[in-house]
Amino acid sequence: MTEEHNADGEVTWHPNPKTPEFTPPAGAVDAHCHVFGPAHEFPFAPERKYTPGDAGKDMLFALRDHLGLSRNVIVQASCHGKDNAAMVDALESSNGMARGVAVVAHDIADEELDRLHAAGVRGVRFNFVKRLVDATPREVFMRTAERVQRLGWHIVVYFEAPDLEDLTPFLKTLPGIVVVDHMGRPDVSLPVDGPDFQRFVTLMAEMPNMWTKVSCPERLTVAGPPYDDVVPFQRYLVETFSDRVLWGTDWPHPNMKSHRPDDGLLVDTIARIAPTADLQQALLIDNPMRLYWAD
């Protein structure tokens, strides 16, 4: 890969990811990744909080093949706002091997939702991370959640651990399947069995419709690669909720400040967080296929 740079001249993703030592099972899904631009074709949103380098569909699909994966779930990122054109273009170019999670306006027409569904979108994302997006009233999110149920879509929620207690009553009222990005971004310097992470575990136990992505160790780590401080949190969720977990690379790792994650190394962590063939099958194939390709 050729290095791409953001507006500050920083390299925004690893230009030469290693070949993983772990071989994913045939049909494995990267259930959380993005496409950015290219900006000359798919401009970034004026209201964005950061400007990434170009990382388009061809790069994503080349990375997928390099890592030994088979399918992608492409999640709309905040830098593209509510214009899902780049993501939809990637879905329509994937020969059915990609699905999408959209970000939509509160007043989007039913016809546009139908068009997104036909392209391969199967979920809508609600972002509560204040440094990334402006706040949206929860009643607006709820109306959107209710509207997409006719399509069988699920709701993806992105928040940080300090916000979980306040968000819990709202999350419990959401209809359908609710997927939490990146384990709710726990503080991995605290114990796995401590009250902070266990608050999230308890919510997962209380909400059988809640799933989570055991992704983004590169964002959560304090120790750095190979993410020894994050693996216990990921493994705990994989072993406790084996039928409701997903895994993804988060490529191209937008807005990273600490280091450039190597996606080959991220694939190698799979064997540490899902140590048996049955857990790997559920995490990488059965769960994402049930959620995104059931139809």
Give the Cα separation of 260 and 14 in Å (integer).
Answer: 5
Phi, psi angle pair for 16, to nearest 5°: -145, 70
Give strand pairing partners of 210: 178
- How remote is the C-alpha of 175 from its chain's centroid? 20
Helix (H, G, I), strand (E, B) or coil at 210: strand
How far is the CA of 16 from the CAs of 2, 205, 235, in angstroms? 8, 40, 27
Give the Cα separation of 150 and 138 in Å (integer).
Answer: 20
51 is written with which tokens?
A: 């400007």
User: Look-up: residue for tokens 């964005």?
Assistant: 48
Q: Is the dihedral of CA 8, 75, 116, 25 positive or negative?
A: positive
Give the Cα separation of 138 and 159 in Å (integer).
Answer: 13
Question: Catalytic site residue 250?
Answer: yes
Task: Exactly one of 30, 181, 250, 262 is catalytic; name it.
Answer: 250
Q: Annotated catalytic sites, by residue?
A: 250
